[in-house]
Each structure stands twice: as C-alpha cells, then as structure tokens.
C-alpha cells in the first residue's frame, strides 16, 4: 500500500507571523496541498502560539472537510489546547512534547516517567472520549513503545529528526533503519499504526519508503522551504510520485 503524505503547514504561518500581516494564508496552503494530492493536513497549535493561531484551527478544519481529508492537530498535553481540540473535532490529534525554549520539537514524548505517563494518559482519555484518534510522537525505543501501547493510541509517529540530520551529513543510517524495522514490527503486532515525521526531505524520505517502514509521513519545513523555488503544489506532487514508485 502506498504510504500517506501529511503536509504540515505550520511554517506558512511562521512567515505570516514574522511580519504580522494577513498573508501568506494557511487556508490557501491547505487548499493547494489537498488539490495537489496530500492525504491530510497537519498543524501544530503550540502553547506559545508562535505560528498557528486559534482561528487557524477552525479555518483549516473547514478546508479538510471540503476535501473529505483528515486534519491532524499536533499539540502538547495542555488543558487549554485540549479544550480547543475537543471543540474543533479533528480526526487526529498527535500529542508531542513542548518546551518554550526549543526552536522546534526536539524529540519524542517521555513515557518512562510515571508522572509524565499519567499526564499523557489523562489527555488521551479526554480526547478519546470525544472520538478523536490519538497518535503519540515518540522515539523508536522499544521500552517507550511498550509503555505507549498501554494508552491504546491508534498510531505512533516516530521522531525522525536525528535520522534526517545524519542522512544530510552523509553519515551511516543503517542503525536507524534497523531500529525503525523493530519499531514497525512491534507496532504491527499491537495493531497500532506506524507513522513518521520531523526533519524529512525528499532525499531523506527515500530510504524509508524503499524499506516500507511507515504507512504515513508528516512533512512540513522542507516542503515549505522548497516551495519558495518550485511552488507548493509541485513539491507535493513530486513526493507523491516517490511514494507511488515505492
């Protein structure tokens, strides 16, 4: 089966927020992405609101509904953001760690800490009660994945940031491929979806697709950057071609 492609449009909002203007439009970005063949739209409503704003969530949700495609809302375990998620009703929520000092998401959720596990569990239960499917953003660590399975998520999104950095630097990535295979096999055995995201480019995604490691990829920053030169729709179409070729 061809993997799904989720387009993260956060950095369209980053450009908008840099000048405080009404452009570029995240609504248009979602529309262009879905017309070009994207399988879902991903946005991250952070506690610090550094890019996506509250009003964007409803606006982008309407676009995904028009196309009959899912909205994947990334968020931390924050009560205010959880309220917004419950009110908006995205198909998916991907729970991620947040740190106000970070430049971008730096790694997966810590589920080994009992305190943090219980915090994530409470957020999961509230969202699941609203019929929202849960994905957890995690490292490909088997102990963490086993803890995650106790929360009954629909999917795990494996953090590929370090892999992507090593790939770009021309370093050996074989250990990542093997770790991802172990993670995939465990998640398949638990009937949990195996997704991937963070830091991926059109080049670094190829070994993952060739090895049939993940059923969904959520990619944003590289796509938005490349769109400056090639156009958003064209970049997305190229990704879909690669996915189709396998």
Per-residue model confidence as pLDDT tens digits over 150-184: 999 999 999 999 999 999 999 999 999 999 999 99
Q: Hunting for tokens 């449009």 — which residue is that? A: 9
Instruction: List residues with catalytic annotation.
Output: 44, 74, 198
Single out the residue of 146, 144, 142, 123 nearest to residue 134, CA to CA: 123
* Residue 1 banded pLDDT, cuts 50, 70, 90: confident
Cα–chain center distance at 184: 17
For 64-103, what is each residue's pLDDT tens digit?
999 999 999 999 999 999 999 999 999 999 999 976 555 5
* Residue 142 banded pLDDT, cuts 50, 70, 90: very high
Across the chain, what does the average pLDDT equal? 95
Do the Cβ atoms of 14 and 26 come closer than 8 Å? Answer: no
The pLDDT assigned to 246 comes to 72
Residue 137 has pLDDT above 80, yes or no: yes
Phi, psi angle pair for 160, to nearest 5°: -105, 15
4-245: CATH, from 3.90.1150.10, 3.50.50.60, 3.40.50.720, 3.20.20.70: 3.20.20.70
The pLDDT assigned to 243 comes to 92
Do the Cβ atoms of 159 and 138 come closer than 8 Å? Answer: yes
Average the pLDDT over 197-205 and give the result.
Answer: 97
Phi, psi angle pair for 59, to nearest 5°: -65, -45
Q: Helices 221-230 and 10-19 sit at what angle, rounded to 10 degrees?
A: 70
Q: What is the DSSP letter of 68?
A: T
């Amino acid at each position: 089966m061809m993997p799904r492609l989720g387009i993260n449009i956060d950095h369209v909002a980053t450009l908008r927020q840099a000048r405080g203007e009404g452009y570029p439009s995240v609504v248009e970005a979602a529309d262009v992405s879905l017309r070009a063949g994207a399988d879902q739209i991903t946005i991250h409503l952070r506690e610090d609101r550094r890019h996506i704003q509250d009003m964007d969530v409803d606006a982008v949700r309407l676009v995904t509904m028009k196309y009959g495609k899912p909205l994947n809302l990334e968020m931390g375990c924050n009560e205010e953001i959880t309220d917004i998620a419950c009110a908006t009703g995205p198909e998916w929520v991907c729970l991620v760690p947040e740190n106000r000092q970070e430049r971008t998401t730096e790694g997966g959720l810590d589920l080994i800490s009992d305190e943090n596990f219980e915090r994530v569990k409470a957020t999961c239960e509230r969202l699941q009660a609203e019929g929202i499917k849960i994905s957890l953003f995690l490292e490909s660590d088997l102990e963490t994945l086993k803890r995650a399975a106790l929360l009954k998520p629909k999917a795990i999104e494996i953090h590929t940031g370090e892999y992507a950095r090593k790939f770009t630097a021309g370093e050996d990535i074989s250990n990542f491929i093997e770790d991802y295979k172990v993670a995939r096999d465990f998640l398949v055995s638990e009937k949990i979806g195996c997704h991937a995201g963070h830091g991926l480019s059109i080049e670094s995604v190829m070994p993952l697709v060739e090895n049939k490691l993940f059923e969904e990829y959520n990619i944003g920053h590289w796509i938005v950057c490349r769109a400056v030169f090639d156009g958003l729709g064209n970049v997305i179409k190229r990704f879909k071609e690669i996915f189709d070729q396998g």
